[in-house]
Amino acid sequence: MTFDLIIRGGSVVDGTGGPARTADVAVQAGRIVDIGKITSAAAREISADGALVTPGWVDVHTHYDGQVTWDKNLAPSSWHGVTTVVMGNCGVGFAPVHDRDYDQLIELMEGVEDIPGTALHEGIAWGWQTFPDYLDVLSGLPRDIDFATMAGLRLRAQRMRKHRGRDGPKRHRSAAGCPRIRPSRG
């Protein structure tokens, strides 16, 4: 069999907790299909002698909520082998938002996340109001690595404001009371 890619002779650390081992990794149609001593040929071969071969790393706590709108690399995470970043963990985010909120949100991110306001003012090209709109904007941007984002507390606060006054103050309810977020069209 001929593979699309074989990475040869690297120290494979597969994430199982087992020791590193020297092996080849065969890839077909974007998927790893074999690991071991591979004698078949490939359309492309990479020598990994002296290098680590690892699965992609997931950075589960980042502050790229603003940077994701202007930096296709999401550096420095991508420089260190990270293939997926998760943002929004702190509950602060840039959606939902109205134009009157831009400066307030940037000041909040400066204080809470220590992100320079100048970078956010110059980098963010606001093009959304709702959380689904934010996801749509992000899905349309070029990206070197994958990302996931959590819905921030602003979404809950917006939902609570919507109902305030109609039937008194809202108390915490189960997730069933939260608005449904549709998947991004990307």
The answer to the question of residue 147 being in a domain is: yes
The answer to the question of residue 164 being in a domain is: yes
**Residue with the larger pLDDT of the pair 151 and 74:** 74
Residue from 39, 79, 45, 84 nearest 61 by CA: 84
Q: Which of 53-57, 74-78, 83-87 has the lowest mean pLDDT?
A: 53-57
- Interval 172-183: pLDDT, tens: 444 555 555 555
Q: Are residues 29 and 121 in the same domain?
A: no
CA gap 89, 96 in Å, rounded: 16
Residue from 61, 78, 57, 64 nearest 144 by CA: 78
- Interval 19-59: pLDDT, tens: 999 999 999 998 999 999 999 999 999 999 999 999 888 99
- Interval 93-116: pLDDT, tens: 888 888 898 998 899 888 888 889
Q: Are residues 37 and 75 in the same domain?
A: no
Sign of CA dihedral 34, 38, 41, 47: positive
Neighbours of 21 (CB within 10 A): 12
The answer to the question of residue 183 being in a domain is: no
- Interval 120-164: pLDDT, tens: 999 999 999 988 999 999 999 999 999 999 887 666 666 556 655
Q: Are residues 17 and 86 in the same domain?
A: no
pTM of the model: 0.68
- Residue 157 has a pLDDT of 61
For 133, the 3-state DSSP assignment is helix
Q: Are residues 21 and 66 in the same domain?
A: no
pLDDT band at 72 (very low <50, low <70, confident <90, very high): very high
Q: Write the CA distances from 90 to 58, 61, 109, 145, 175, integer angstroms.
A: 17, 8, 10, 21, 18
Q: What's the token pair of residue 139? A: 């899905």
Look up the domain containing 12 and give its range: 2-53
Q: Are residues 20 and 104 in the same domain?
A: no
The answer to the question of residue 186 being in a domain is: no
The answer to the question of residue 184 being in a domain is: no
Q: Are residues 123 and 163 in the same domain?
A: yes
- Residue 181 has a pLDDT of 53
Does residue 134 contact residue 80 with C-beta atoms inside 8 Å? no
Q: Are residues 145 and 65 in the same domain?
A: yes
Structural domains in the chain (count): 2
Q: Are residues 32 and 99 in the same domain?
A: no
Q: Are residues 47 and 61 in the same domain?
A: no
Q: Are residues 160 and 99 in the same domain?
A: yes
Residue from 70, 56, 55, 66 nearest 149 by CA: 66
User: Cis peptide leading into 19, omega within 30 of 0?
Assistant: no
The answer to the question of residue 80 being in a domain is: yes
The burial class, CB within 10 Å (0-12 / 13-18 / 19+), for 109 is buried
Q: The domain spanning residue 42 has which CATH number? A: 2.30.40.10
Q: Are residues 104 and 74 in the same domain?
A: yes
137: left (phi over 0), alpha (psi -120 to 50) or beta: alpha
Q: Are residues 65 and 95 in the same domain?
A: yes
- Residue 111 has a pLDDT of 87
The answer to the question of residue 158 being in a domain is: yes
